[in-house]
Amino acid sequence: MLPKLFFGYFAAVITVLSILVVTRRNPVHSVMWMLLLFFNLASMYLFLDAEFIAAIQVIVYAGAILVLFLFVVLLLNLREELKANRFIGSWPAGLIVAAAIMVSMVFAINSFVPGPMGTYSIDYIQKETYTKVLGEVLYTEYLFPFEIASLILLIAIIGAIVLAKKRMRS
Amino acid sequence: MGVPMQFVMPDLRPLTPEILMTVLSLLVLLSDLVIKRKETIALLSILSVAAVAFTFRDSLGVTFNGMFISDGYSRFFGIIFVLNVILTVLISVKYIGIERVNFGEYYGLILFSTLGMMIMASAGDLIVLYLGLELMALSTYILAGFIRYDVKSNEAAMKYFLLGAFASAFLLYGTSMIYGLTGTTNIKAIAGYILLHGLMGNPALTLAMALFVVAFSFKIAAVPFHMWAPDAYEGAPTSITAFMSVGPKAAGFAVMGRVLLDGLYPIKPEWSAVLIPIAILTMGVGNIVALSQTNIKRMLAYSSIAHAGYALLGVIAGTADGLASVMNYMLIYAFMNIGAFAVIIMLRTEGFKGDNITDYEGLSKTHPLLASLMLVFMFSLTGIPPTAGFMGKFYLFMSAVNAGYTWVVIIAVIFSAISAYFYLRIVMYMYMKDPKQEVAISTSPSMSLALAITLFGVIAIGVLPASVVHLARIAFP
């Protein structure tokens, strides 16, 4: 009962916060609500026994990415931004589609049958500590995806350089 | 439990082409430091992909616990990707100079994007599939926005990026549902688990399948997930539009075939019921909206949407024959579409955009050879024999009829007839109107080579399709 209560609380708060993020007129307020959202997400990870991901969520998302967001917001012209509409004219259509997707998801989730349990039970992870197990899996079983991810990061760096390069002399 | 995991070095032989491609892409990227002539870098990148293509044959095998599959299927797509790179680089050399974006990173990014496509086609695991897709997409986003001082190019990159991120979210949601249901992300194991536990018809599995179809539809620009395509294709540098309309689309079909026909084959009735309306809408919207376009890049964007609709017929057929005709069609599409884009690029000169349909008026009088090449490519895109486009469509429609989808094929033929109007309108403008202005063309040896290769491909496959079709058939297990 208690876990369900916890989950219900965080799920409700996360939903409310997400709605606040997209509906605020002032981008600074949106970013601040997002900060709160990231902390709630981190609690959700903690609740799922994934403390490493929870810490990463706080450090990377709340710490680094959000600061970047704030930098970008500071470059905007806030006065004009406050006058602009948050949504395009056809938002009711989007809302209907989103509601339809939600209804079909709720319907589908009801018949969800969980698959087999993996080798990494909660007891095992608690004994071996989460970070160690994660590292082991990442560098053995998932070595190949891990290497592809490193290439993706390289592309991100190259992209940043290309987009910031000086204009070519004609 | 408790014993430290032993690390066993996996068999790297099936990965040889990918490893070689990574090394060579990095070298091409670094060569920009020492090589000042960008033409040399272009040549290096063509040699790189050619070297990679030579390693395909000896690479067959499965490695990393089934995460990576190097088989005839993935390597056939590999050949399409290699061809795509060679043709794109050939048509880029002069063009990116005219657009004043002659940076060395351009070629490196094309190679990395292709590496992503190769990983996608070989993915035996949903996580590898996702990462390959992101590697491909991220490089392509940057390439789409490569003309930084051009607002349209920025818009193209932005829209492509936002909708691509949106599609990734669908893919990840679908992956997480499948993982929850089956406890695995291995595509073959998913099919086994579904069959063993009788999950067919489970609404949660159907939802996961629908999420996958949505994500793939974004990548191949199928209606109603095509909204990004016209703007992205119009704004991106024309050479990259050619690249985007062939590579990522073929890669999208490669993963679609792998996931739907391998992993989700047990629920084929469900996914073909979702794909049939998507295919019909795609052919309909693509062909009908193309009628009213005045910009040729936009017109070809809608045409590319329509062609994705035809190719979907092969997936819907769900047979080895159907998938072989999709592979075949993607190869033919690479030739004819890049050929058409090569002609468009030739009309782009200093201070003249040359992407309006009216710019083609009377081209047969000023540049008869160029006009006749465009004629061949337009005939092929329409599907008029003896060009390759006809053979490609013929095999696709045949496979769908054999699988019992005759009524869908009839609709496809009707839309195909409608498409003749806008392709042949270009031909009509070139041959039956008088030139209103003096249109200059930018020629270069590399461009002539690209046109020669595409023309050869379109005619050769059109006249002698059997060898390519045979290759595609034996490639698919």
Does the beta-carbon distance from A108 to B65 stay under 8 Å? no
Of B102, B149, B203, the CB nearest to A111: B203
Average pLDDT, stretch B89-117?
Answer: 92
Note the pLDDT tens digit of each residue in B301-349.
Answer: 999 999 999 999 999 998 988 999 999 999 999 999 999 999 999 988 8
pLDDT at site B185: 92
**Pair B196, A131: CB distance under 8 Å:** no
Q: Any idea where the domains of chain B sit in the sequence?
A: 13-475
Of A140, A152, A168, the CB nearest to B7: A140
The length of chain B, given as a count of residues: 477
Q: What is the mean pLDDT of chain A?
A: 87
Least confident of B46-55, B164-173, B350-359, B420-429: B350-359
Of A108, A127, A163, the CB nearest to B204: A108
pLDDT at site B277: 95
Residue of A nearest to B1 (CA): A124
Phi and psi dihedrals of A22, rounded to 5? -85, -15
Q: pLDDT above 70 covers what percent of chain B?
A: 98
Residue B4 in this model has a pLDDT that exceeds 60: no
Identify the H or E element spanning B70: strand B68-70
Helix-helix angle B368-382:B406-432, to 10 degrees: 170
pLDDT at site B102: 85
Residue of A nearest to B150 (CA): A167
Average pLDDT, stretch B260-282?
Answer: 93
Would you list the DSSP string of chain A?
-HHHHHHHHHHHHHHHHHHHHHH-SSHHHHHHHHHHHHHHHHHHHHHTT-HHHHHHIIIIIIIIIHHHHHHHHHHS-HHHHHHS-SS-TTHHHHHHHHHHHHHHHHHHHTT-------S--HHHHHHH-HHHHHHHHHHTTTHHHHHHHHHHHHHHHHHHHHHHSPPPP-
Query: Would you state the structure tokens that stand for residue B81, as one six-digit string?
Result: 């990707």
Of A115, A143, A149, the CB nearest to B183: A115
SS3 content of chain B, % helix, strand, coil (to 5): 80, 5, 20
List all residues 6 or more positions away from A25 whose beta carbon is below 8 Å from its beta carbon. A81, A82, A86
Q: Does A151 touch chain B (CB under 8 A)?
A: yes
Residue of B nearest to A132 (CA): B4
Residue of A nearest to B193 (CA): A115
| Cβ contacts of B121 on chain A, cutoff 8 Å | none
Of A118, A151, A158, the CB nearest to B105: A158
- At residue B100 the predicted structure's pLDDT band, cuts being 50, 70 and 90, is confident
> Is pLDDT larger for residue B471 or for residue B371?
B371
| Cβ contacts of B2 on chain A, cutoff 8 Å | 127-128
| Cβ contacts of B204 on chain A, cutoff 8 Å | 108-109, 111-113
Note the pLDDT tens digit of each residue in B9-40.
Answer: 888 899 999 999 999 999 999 998 898 888 99
Residue B63 in this model has a pLDDT that exceeds 80: yes
Of B2, B64, B138, the CB nearest to A155: B138
Phi and psi dihedrals of B191, rounded to 5? -60, -45
Phi and psi dihedrals of B176, rounded to 5? -65, -35
Residue B194 in this model has a pLDDT that exceeds 80: yes
**Nearest-5° angle of CA A68, CA A69, CA A73?**
120
List all residues 6 or more positions away from B225 whose beta carbon is below 8 Å from its beta carbon. B163, B167, B214, B217, B218
Q: Does B112 touch chain A (CB under 8 A)?
A: yes
pLDDT at site B340: 94
pLDDT at site B5: 55
pLDDT at site A109: 86
**Pair B367, B354: CB distance under 8 Å:** no
Note the pLDDT tens digit of each residue in A137-165.
Answer: 888 889 999 999 999 999 999 999 888 87
Query: Would you state the structure tokens that stand for residue B111, as one six-digit string?
Result: 């190679």
Residue of B nearest to A109 (CA): B204
pLDDT at site B472: 79
Does the beta-carbon distance from B10 to A124 stay under 8 Å? no
Residue B2 in this model has a pLDDT that exceeds 70: no
Note the pLDDT tens digit of each residue in B374-426.
Answer: 999 999 999 998 899 999 999 999 999 999 999 999 999 999 999 999 999 99
pLDDT at site B469: 81
Which ipTM score applies to this complex?
Answer: 0.91
Average pLDDT, stretch A52-67?
Answer: 90
| Cβ contacts of A136 on chain B, cutoff 8 Å | 4-5
Q: Does B107 touch chain A (CB under 8 A)?
A: no
Query: 195-214 in B: which are within 8 Å (CB) of A?
Result: 197, 199, 202-204, 206-207
Note the pLDDT tens digit of each residue in B148-164.
Answer: 888 999 999 999 999 99
Pairing of strands B68-70, B61-63: antiparallel
Query: Would you state the structure tokens that stand for residue B30, as one six-digit string?
Result: 């670094």
The number of C-beta contacts closer than 8 angstroms across A and B is: 107
Does the beta-carbon distance from A168 to B131 stay under 8 Å? no
Query: Would you state the structure tokens that stand for residue A12, as one six-digit string?
Result: 């409700």
Residue B373 in this model has a pLDDT that exceeds 90: yes
Biggest alpha carbon–alpha carbon distance for chain A = 70
Question: For an interface test with A, which of B112, B136, B240, B270 has the most A Cβ atoms less than 10 Å from its Cβ?
Answer: B112
> Is pLDDT larger for residue B168 or for residue A49?
B168
Does the beta-carbon distance from A118 to B2 stay under 8 Å? no
What is the least distance, in Å, from the CA of B344 to any CA of chain A?
23
The length of chain A, given as a count of residues: 170
pLDDT at site A69: 87
| Cβ contacts of B112 on chain A, cutoff 8 Å | 151, 154-155, 158
| Cβ contacts of B4 on chain A, cutoff 8 Å | 136
SS3 at position B196: helix
Biggest alpha carbon–alpha carbon distance for chain B = 82
Average pLDDT, stretch B181-200?
Answer: 91
Average pLDDT, stretch B351-366?
Answer: 86
pLDDT at site B289: 93
Residue B293 in this model has a pLDDT that exceeds 50: yes
- At residue B477 the predicted structure's pLDDT band, cuts being 50, 70 and 90, is low
pLDDT at site B270: 92
Residue of A nearest to B101 (CA): A168
> Is pLDDT larger for residue A102 or for residue B469?
A102
Does the beta-carbon distance from B180 to A114 stay under 8 Å? yes
Identify the H or E element spanning B63: strand B61-63
CA B471 to chain centre: 19
